[in-house]
């Protein structure tokens, strides 16, 4: 297997985390077929590690895949799934095997999920882009089911373990409070693998006919999510939310981005601290690739960033930012400026009439910048983590515009 593609390099790391104590390498004749994985749909476009056996597993995994895909890419995955349903994984030449160093197989994620679900399963593993919060996402596949029987998320370090636990805690309440038009995963088991948390979820039916949503499709759902929170209004400086922001920025690892963020937070406290702000709940990563719009409902996953009290409008502003970035990643330097310019229209969709769009956009950008810096997104290789290239200049310019109001 050529290691040139970064997702192929990640494949080895993911399998090492999912099968603690095993050796991961090129598949050989002696490799257990149940732990031999092919790269699908191809080594040039690695999206999934699919088990070589059972025969139909690759097709099932591809049909259930939900990710950051264009319409053409979705058609391509569908065609590949149809091919693999007939041929199995024979066309897939790039393969990895999990080897037990001793005489007995090591206990891995397949064993954990088989016990949690009460039935034997094999697993497929999603190959995701570089980011600080990247963690193994696993499909559990059973021989007697034409759909995945579960999805699982596995923490691999302090950050991802915290996120897995947070999502496991949030989902039961969300499932009770959200309307049927917004479907979230159901938690079926919370356990651990080699001391790291494993969250097992009932699959959302991402294989149903539907499409990736646009901003207008998710406004009503965003209102429903907002209503699951506290719904309070008061001065920014007196809120628990802003106290957390001030604490968070003080505890960032030292560096120029952290220093500039801290300065922005201090200036916001001085200039906007007395402004009344409405706080509602937010999903925290409200993006097109965390959703699938069907005729009956909006399916929404990845609730690990859910918070009950954030400035109103945060989710829709985040959706807009990611829409813009995916369409034109080369325009990163102007991304924050475009979000600020679009904020009045975005908040009008939400009906947040008491929110100042400029202030809401400013608070959102600081919220996002703090998260990216705390998670070390730049160090993980994410271009958007370099806040000095796009976010900080916009926030600092907006704060400078407030200077005349202070008599400076």
Boundaries of CATH 3.90.1200.10 in the chain? 215-406
pLDDT at 67 over 60: no
State residue 281's pLDDT score.
97
DSSP state of 254: S
Q: Of the given ranges (38-47, 69-78, 219-228, 284-293), which has the lowest mean pLDDT?
A: 69-78
Q: Of the given ranges (69-73, 238-242, 385-389), which has the lowest mean pLDDT?
A: 69-73
pLDDT at 2 over 60: no
pLDDT band with cut points at 50, 70 and 90 for residue 66: low
Query: Do 51 and 36 meet the contact criterion of CB atoms below 8 Å apart?
Result: yes
198 sits in which H/E element: strand 196-202
Name the nearest CA neighbour of 182 among 148, 132, 223, 215.
Answer: 223
Average pLDDT over residues 258-275: 97
Name the nearest CA neighbour of 290 among 177, 183, 148.
Answer: 183
pLDDT at 86 over 80: no
Query: Do 314 and 364 meet the contact criterion of CB atoms below 8 Å apart?
Result: yes
Cβ atoms < 10 Å from Cβ of 116: 18
Helix (H, G, I), strand (E, B) or coil at 38: strand
pLDDT band with cut points at 50, 70 and 90 for residue 152: very high
Spatial separation of the C-alpha atoms in residues 64 and 68, rounded to whole Å? 13
| Prediction pTM value | 0.89
Spatial separation of the C-alpha atoms in residues 348 and 335, rounded to whole Å? 20
Boundaries of CATH 3.30.200.20 in the chain? 6-202
pLDDT at 217 over 80: yes
pLDDT in tens, 108-136: 999 999 999 999 999 999 998 777 888 99
Q: How many residues does the chain have?
A: 408
State residue 341's pLDDT score.
97
Average pLDDT over residues 230-251: 95
Query: Do 60 and 203 meet the contact criterion of CB atoms below 8 Å apart?
Result: no
Query: Tokens 């370090």 identify what position?
Result: 157
Helix (H, G, I), strand (E, B) or coil at 34: helix
Average pLDDT over residues 374-387: 92
- Cis previous bond, 54, omega within 30: yes
Q: Under 8 Å CB-to-CB from 223, ≥6 apart: which residues?
A: 350, 351
Q: Of the given ranges (104-108, 226-230, 273-277), which has the lowest mean pLDDT?
A: 104-108
DSSP state of 283: -
Q: Under 8 Å CB-to-CB from 41, ≥6 apart: which residues?
A: 47, 48, 62, 76, 77, 80
pLDDT in tens, 88-106: 676 777 889 998 887 778 8
Spatial separation of the C-alpha atoms in residues 92 and 339, rounded to whole Å? 42
pLDDT at 408 over 50: no
174 sits in which H/E element: helix 158-177
Q: Under 8 Å CB-to-CB from 323, ≥6 apart: which residues?
A: 214, 215, 288
Average pLDDT over residues 208-227: 95
State residue 101's pLDDT score.
83
State residue 1's pLDDT score.
44
pLDDT at 275 over 90: yes
pLDDT at 392 over 50: yes
Residue with the bigger pLDDT between 86 and 110: it is 110
Spatial separation of the C-alpha atoms in residues 214 and 2, rounded to whole Å? 37
Half-sphere exposure of 201 (CA within 13 A, CB side): 29
pLDDT band with cut points at 50, 70 and 90 for residue 46: confident
Residue with the bigger pLDDT between 292 and 101: it is 292
- Cis previous bond, 41, omega within 30: yes
Average pLDDT over residues 339-362: 89
pLDDT band with cut points at 50, 70 and 90 for residue 344: very high
Q: Please, what is the average pLDDT of the chain? A: 90
Q: Of the given ranges (171-180, 218-227, 375-384), which has the lowest mean pLDDT?
A: 375-384
What's the angle, vertex CA 302, arms to CA 378 and CA 113, rounded to 5?
110
- Has domain 6-202 been given CATH number 3.30.200.20? yes
Spatial separation of the C-alpha atoms in residues 92 and 146, rounded to whole Å? 21
pLDDT band with cut points at 50, 70 and 90 for residue 59: confident
Q: Tell how far CA 133 is from the center of its chain.
A: 8
In the CATH scheme, what architecture does the domain 215-406 have? Alpha-Beta Complex (3.90)
Given the DSSP bridges, would you call strands 182-183 and 298-300 parallel, antiparallel or unpaired?
A: parallel
pLDDT at 30 over 70: no
Spatial separation of the C-alpha atoms in residues 365 and 368, rounded to whole Å? 5
Residue with the bigger pLDDT between 80 and 314: it is 314
Spatial separation of the C-alpha atoms in residues 46 and 9, rounded to whole Å? 11
% of the chain beyond a pLDDT of 70 = 89
End-to-end, the C-alpha distance of the chain in Å comes to: 62
State residue 62's pLDDT score.
82
Average pLDDT over residues 178-186: 97
Average pLDDT over residues 397-402: 90
């Amino acid at each position: 297997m050529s290691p040139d593609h970064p997702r192929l390099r990640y494949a080895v790391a993911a399998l090492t985390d999912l099968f603690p104590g095993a050796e991961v390498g090129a598949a050989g004749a002696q490799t257990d077929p149940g732990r031999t994985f092919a790269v699908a749909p191809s080594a040039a476009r690695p999206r999934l590690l699919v088990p070589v056996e059972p025969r139909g597993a690759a097709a099932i995994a591809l049909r259930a895949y939900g990710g950051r895909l264009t319409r053409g890419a979705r058609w391509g995955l569908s065609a590949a799934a149809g091919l693999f349903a007939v041929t199995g994984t024979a066309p897939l030449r790039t393969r990895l095997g999990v080897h037990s160093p001793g005489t007995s197989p090591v206990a891995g994620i397949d064993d954990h999920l088989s016990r949690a679900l009460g039935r034997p399963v094999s697993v497929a593993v999603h190959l995701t882009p570089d980011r600080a919060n990247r963690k193994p996402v696993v499909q559990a596949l059973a021989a007697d089911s034409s759909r995945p029987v579960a999805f699982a998320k596995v923490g691999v370090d302090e950050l991802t373990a915290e996120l897995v636990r947070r999502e496991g805690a949030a989902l039961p309440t969300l499932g009770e409070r959200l309307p049927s038009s917004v479907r979230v995963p159901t938690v079926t088991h919370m356990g651990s693998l080699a001391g790291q948390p494993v969250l097992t979820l009932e699959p959302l039916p991402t294989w149903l006919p539907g499409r990736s949503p646009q901003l207008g499709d998710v406004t009503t759902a965003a209102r429903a999510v907002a209503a699951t929170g506290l719904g309070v209004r008061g001065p920014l400086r007196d809120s628990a939310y802003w106290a957390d922001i001030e604490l968070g920025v003080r505890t960032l690892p030292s560096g120029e981005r952290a220093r500039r963020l801290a300065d922005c937070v201090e200036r916001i406290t001085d200039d906007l601290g007395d402004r009344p702000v409405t706080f509602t709940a937010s999903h925290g990563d409200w993006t097109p690739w965390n959703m699938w719009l069907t005729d009956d409902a909006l399916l929404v996953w990845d609730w690990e960033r859910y918070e009950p009290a954030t400035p109103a409008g945060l989710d829709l502003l985040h959706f807009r930012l990611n829409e813009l970035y995916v369409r034109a990643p080369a325009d990163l330097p102007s991304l924050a400026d475009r979000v600020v310019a679009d904020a009045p229209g975005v908040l009008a969709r939400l009906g947040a009439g008491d929110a100042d769009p400029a202030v809401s956009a400013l608070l959102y950008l600081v919220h996002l910048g703090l998260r990216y810096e705390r998670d070390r997104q730049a160090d993980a290789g994410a271009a958007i983590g370099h806040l000095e290239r796009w976010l900080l200049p916009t926030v600092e310019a907006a704060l400078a515009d407030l200077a005349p109001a202070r008599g400076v």
